[in-house]
Each structure stands twice: as structure tokens, then as C-alpha cells.
Amino acid sequence: MNKMVFLEDLGLKDYKETWDYQERLFKQTVDLKINNRRQGENLPTPNHFLFVEHPHVYTLGKSGDLSNLLVGEEELASKNAKFYKINRGGDITYHGPGQIVGYPILDLDNFFTDIHKYLRLLEEMVILTLAEYGLKAQRSEGETGVWLDVGTPFARKICAMGVRASRWVTMHGFALNVNADLGYFDLMIPCGIKDKAVTSLNVEMGKKEIDTSEVKKKLLKHFTHLFEAKLITEAPIA
């Protein structure tokens, strides 16, 4: 079981370019697993964790409803935003500047073969991180992601999640609002859930801006603990 995880911070990068890169890493791992089985070998499979920030973009999961995007192509263009239908689970999600997006591309055979547990641990990573900022974040029953004030009229989502897995290899991941422009969320029904608000860490903290590098360090600290992983900062060339 290889618990080493190659960490890359891609900075600000186009969604489609990042998606293509994810797909290459994902395919390499899946292909290696298939070859191991065919050849009776046991070559270690790699794990990756990508941090990225995207220009404004809306993505719709394979089970999503297009009507949850509330604007057409012209208004998207006026907002400098793009739109993609993609192969993760979940409904519609927004990504943009001021949001920390994380894409773990893990072979869960190296950790545990349980997608439910995988999602719960990603949520726990975010919950523990937000606790360090004095926020009591929670899960909302039946709704993947991380929320504040669950069960009250003030419930609001701070982190969205959606993953794809094949042969126990994961891709896509989570999007944590840190310094996000919340106005962009008004152009959709977030994750297809009506009458629920969205928030950002800087808003909750009453600050103009939160240090994203600090947030990333906290996320990685909890990720390595929860997954018993070891991070390697020099990733192989895909």
C-alpha cells in the first residue's frame, strides 16, 4: 500500500486544462492497475493531490439538471465565465478566484476501498480546518459538502464536493470558499439545492481577505492525518 501523495499547487489555471491534466493522471493510475492485474504484477500505484484556483466557471455533474444554471451563454460571457458538463457526481457547482479547489487523485486500494468513507474524510478535513478559525462547520444529512448552522433558517454552504471513481481511483474533489465573490453563486441553484445560502470564510471571519496559503497548510495537515498519508512536493511529469 503506497500512501505517498504527490502534491502540486497549479495556481490559477483554466478549468478545462486542469480537467485534462486530472484525466491524464487518473488514466495513468487506472492503466497501471489494469496492467498489474493482467501481468500478475504488483507495481505501486501513485497518488496525487492538486491544489488549483480557477477563473470563473460553472460545472454540471453527470446527474445534474441544466435548469439549475439560471443564465444563458450571453450573460455567462458578460461575466467572463465558462460552463462545462463533466463526469463527476453531483449537480451544478461554481469555481472562481478566491476559492481553494482540491483534486485528490488517489488509488483507494492504497488507503481503504470505501467511497462513502472517502467523502466523509474529505468533509472532516474541511471541518477540522474551519474549526481552527473558530467556526463550527457540519455535515448536512443527505447533502454532500460542508455547512454552517445546519438545521436553522441560516444554513449556508461553505464547501462543495463532487467526485468520480473507477477501479477505486478518484478524481475531482472539493471547493472551499475562502475569499470567493458570492455574487457568482446567484447565477445558479448551488448543487441543485434551493433556499440554501452560500458563504465564504472571509465573510464569516469579517475580513476582507484570508491568507489562502495558510488555509492550504491546515487542509494538508488534516488530510495527511486522516488518510495516514505522506506528502511529496515534487510530482512526476504526467
How much is the pLDDT for 152? 92
Q: pLDDT digit of tens for each residue in the chain (238 aa)? A: 899 999 999 999 999 999 999 999 999 999 999 999 999 998 999 999 999 999 999 988 877 788 888 888 888 888 889 998 887 767 788 999 999 999 999 999 999 999 999 999 999 999 999 999 999 999 998 888 999 999 999 999 999 998 999 999 999 999 999 999 999 988 887 655 556 789 999 999 999 999 999 999 999 999 999 999 999 986 555 5
Q: Which residue ranges make up each domain of the chain?
A: 4-232
Q: Domain 4-232 has what CATH class?
A: alpha beta
CA dist 192 and 93 (Å) reads 9
Q: For the whole model, what pTM was predicted?
A: 0.92
- Picking from 182, 162, 63, 73, the residue whose alpha carbon sits closest to that of residue 122 is 162
- Picking from 160, 156, 76, the residue whose alpha carbon sits closest to that of residue 126 is 160
How much is the pLDDT for 91? 78
Residues annotated as catalytic (active site), given as ranges = 191
Name the binding residues.
88-95, 160-162, 173-175
How much is the pLDDT for 193? 57
Cell readout for 177 is 470558499
Name the binding residues for substrate.
88-95, 160-162, 173-175
Q: In the chain, where do the E strands start and end?
A: 4-12, 48-53, 57-60, 82-85, 92-95, 99-105, 137-140, 143-148, 156-166, 169-177, 197-198, 230-232
How much is the pLDDT for 1? 85
Q: Read off the amino acid at residue 146.
A: V
How much is the pLDDT for 236? 58
Q: What separation in angstroms does the CA of 40 have from each of 3, 33, 110, 144, 166? A: 21, 10, 18, 37, 20
